[in-house]
Structure 1
């Protein structure tokens, strides 16, 4: 489809070659009346559909703003950032990694030493507890042995006291029996 309207090629869709519009152009009207329409259509097309002039203006403004007015400041800033990133990657990061590795190794060694000391302290504490438990058991056995001896002594002493008491009671009974006999002799008089 041609937008100029007067050039070669097929016409608008739905219009046949033998239509009155195409026949009218050939006969007497010629190209003069179509020219203002084509010009108007060209202007409408350029205003509504052709964005190239606007885009070219924006591009020129963008280039002027970022290259001429700012004097490539952004490029320098980006270059400086790139240099800083390279410096960080090449120098600072390896140094930080090495320091971190060294410090972590040192911390790991200290933790191992502390763990070893704590393990030794726990072993000593367990040995001391075992000794204390053994001493307590030995002391308890000795106390039980002393208690058994004490209880046997108390039982023997009680038996002696009971025996003395029984003998004393027999003596008293004999004494009272004699006294009753004596009383009974004096009572018969």
Structure 2
């Protein structure tokens, strides 16, 4: 490559350029047009979903507006009639029944309250009687206990007195025995 002149491509390189599309021949613009048309068709079939979606939207709107709108109106009309019937007939009837039943329940509750009040009063009176009986019994037992203690004290005094007398007799007897013993031993 040590040439002094201008570089010219070798014949093999020029062939490569024309084969790879980089140079030499110019393509016809009309030949590209069918390719673009094919690419556009492929794009519209594979990637462009707008026509399908628009068709579905039209079908949905038609179905909803034409067929369902009458059904929805009928449903709303039935609901309106049901609400008016409930307000005009069912609700007043329920109020009357509830009022009548509540009055009956109120009367029964009042009777129950009166019965419970009487039972509580009786129970309180019985408790009071039991308390009085217990208090009286306790006072009686206290009096009996005090009497028992007095009796025991007097019995103790009698026993102590008898014991003291017996001790005196024994002392006298031992004193006599000791004198006798002293007489015999001396």
TM-score normalised by L of structure 2:
0.60
Aligned match of 1:95: 93
Aligned match of 1:155: 153
Note the C-alpha offset of 1:187: 2.0
The CA distance in 1 between the partners of 2:69 and 2:170, in whole Å, is: 140
The CA distance in 1 between the partners of 2:70 and 2:165, in whole Å, is: 133
For residues 183 and 89 of structure 1, do their structure 2 counterparts lie closer, same or farther at Cα, with a shift above 3 Å needed?
same
The CA distance in 2 between the partners of 1:153 and 1:84, in whole Å, is: 96
Q: Which moved more, 1:154-163 or 1:99-108?
A: 99-108
The CA distance in 1 between the partners of 2:117 and 2:101, in whole Å, is: 24
1:141-180 → structure 2 map (5 Å cutoff): 141-180=139-178
Note the C-alpha offset of 1:102: 1.7
Q: In the TM superposition, what whole-angstrom CA distance separates every residue of 1:9-33 from its partner, at most 9, and x where no partner exists?
A: xxxxxxxxxxxxxxxxxxxxxxxxx
Q: 131, 134, 142: which is aligned to 1:133?
A: 131
Q: 105, 108, 111: which is aligned to 1:110?
A: 108
Q: In the TM superposition, what whole-angstrom CA distance separates every residue of 1:61-98 from its partner, at most 9, and x where no partner exists?
A: 99xx45xx568444433332222222111110011111
For residues 149 and 86 of structure 1, do their structure 2 counterparts lie closer, same or farther at Cα, with a shift above 3 Å needed?
same
Structure 1 unmatched ranges of 5 or more: 1-60
- Number of residue pairs the alignment of both structures matches: 126
Calculate the aligned-residue CA RMSD, in Å. 2.4
Note the C-alpha offset of 1:140: 0.3
The CA distance in 2 between the partners of 1:180 and 1:72, in whole Å, is: 145
Give the structure, 1 or 2, with the largest relative contact order (CA under 8 Å, sep 6 or more): 1
Matched, 1:84 2:88: no
Name the SS of the counterpart of 1:122 in structure 2.
helix
The CA distance in 2 between the partners of 1:74 and 1:144, in whole Å, is: 94
Structure 2 unmatched ranges of 5 or more: 1-60
More helix per residue: 1 or 2?
2
